[in-house]
Chain A
Amino acid sequence: MRTIAIIAVLLIANAGTAFAASEADYKAAYATAEAANKEAGTLRNQWTTTASTLAAAKKAGDAGDFDTAVVQAREAEALAKASIFQANSEKQRWKDMEIH
């Protein structure tokens, strides 16, 4: 029983460290999100929410809160990718709305 408890404590501790983000994780996640947002920019379709979420990621990263920074950067990446999807799909879909 004692052995099991020790193993459980070690596993929990290990799981905790596995989720702790490093500065490198933040920088990688931020760069990925920024690149996606840049691509949305070339499509002339950036979202304000991507920009504000990227700003939140940077603020957390600058404060050393890398867990939050990574979460925010990934959220920004998802938003940027959604804006890219929207821009590409609207190249044809806009015609469905036209009055004729």
Chain B
Amino acid sequence: MTPRLAIRAAMALALGVPAFAPAAHAAETIDPVADKAAFQKFFTDKFPKLKREDFVNGPYSMNEDLHKQWQEKEEFPPYEFSLEDGKQMFTTPFKNGKTYADCFPNQGIGIRQNYPYFDEKEGKVVTLELALNRCREANGEAPISYVKDEMAALTAYMAFTSRGKPMDIKIPNDPRALEAYRLGKEYFYTRRGQLNFSCATCHVQSPGERIRAEVLAPALGILNAMPIYRSEWSGMGTTSRRFITCNSQTRAVPLNPQDDEYRNLEYYLSYVSNGLPISGPGARP
């Protein structure tokens, strides 16, 4: 953590005041369209030289040297093996002869940009990872771990088939969907853990700054690159893994993968990145 961040966090916790306090509250009303516009403007104003679509490259978009590293990595991307595994898993029939393709619209190809979605029957957000495990269970297969290689491989393949397509998350005219969105927003901005950090502390207040050797990614487009190969992990990671790790890093006890809070968070963060291209699978330092 940089001394500046550490001081800001410590002072905020000690004094009980926000380290970053815009003038007025806009949280009383739920207006996703206005939220998205304000969210995207905040980042494009903060980084005026950056093209909007480049935000999806996370820390690699934040400075020229890192951008060069990213271009070099993309020649022999570290997620390539996972992508191949994912394609094989996706096309291999279950014991009953069906495949993942049978569970998804358009046979599961080029649909990543529509996840997560709000399921009006269930009244909850359904993420791609959750839909994949539900597909397995519906076809008599055991669910797989949300944080390990197989899930990362499957979502990597599905993301790859959507590369370049703009994120397109819908919020239906259903008060439950709006509430899920609102709760996701609340989770994003809520400080937690002994370090008193929210998601926004790093990814809104401090993108481009360093925490130790890492350059923080902007929140805008942060999920468009999922899943990611992280050099720090020496492997692939899903969105679930990313949320859990973020919580642990603030010294908060993580929730279970696909708990409602994480599903709502994914819904909110994906919606405010609508229009930015899917770039997953990605690679990160």
Contacts and interface: CB of A to CB of B under 8 A. Distances in A.
A97 B251 contact: no
A86 B191 contact: yes
A27 B25 CA distance: 45
B25 A98 contact: yes
A98 B27 CA distance: 7
A74 to B, nearest CB: 16
Contacts of B149: none
A46 B253 CA distance: 5
A47 B193 CA distance: 5
A89 B16 contact: yes
B200 interface: yes
B129 interface: no
B253 A51 contact: yes
Interface in B146-201: 185-186, 189-194, 196, 198, 200-201
Nearest to B259: A44
Interface centre among A48, A82, A100 (most CB of B within 10 A): A100
A25 B167 CA distance: 57
Interface residues of A, number: 22
A96 B26 CA distance: 9
Contacts, number: 78
Given A97-B20, A97-B204, A100-B22, A48 B193 contact: yes
Interface string B27-65: 110000011001100100000000000000000000000
B27 A94 contact: yes
A1 to B, nearest CB: 50
B41 to A, nearest CB: 8
A94 B16 contact: no
Contacts of B193: 47-48
A81 B26 CA distance: 30
Contacts of B253: 46-48, 51
B255 interface: yes
A62 interface: no
A2 interface: no
A46 B189 contact: no
Given A47-B251, A48-B251, A95 B192 contact: no
B24 A45 contact: no
A49 B77 CA distance: 37
Interface centre among B20, B39, B189, B198 (most CB of A within 10 A): B189
A98 B199 CA distance: 11
5 contacts: A90-B191, A95-B189, A98-B25, A99-B204, A100-B24
Given A94-B186, A95-B25, 15 more contacts: A47-B193, A47-B194, A51-B253, A79-B194, A86-B191, A87-B192, A90-B191, A95-B28, A96-B25, A97-B200, A97-B201, A98-B25, A98-B26, A99-B39, A100-B26
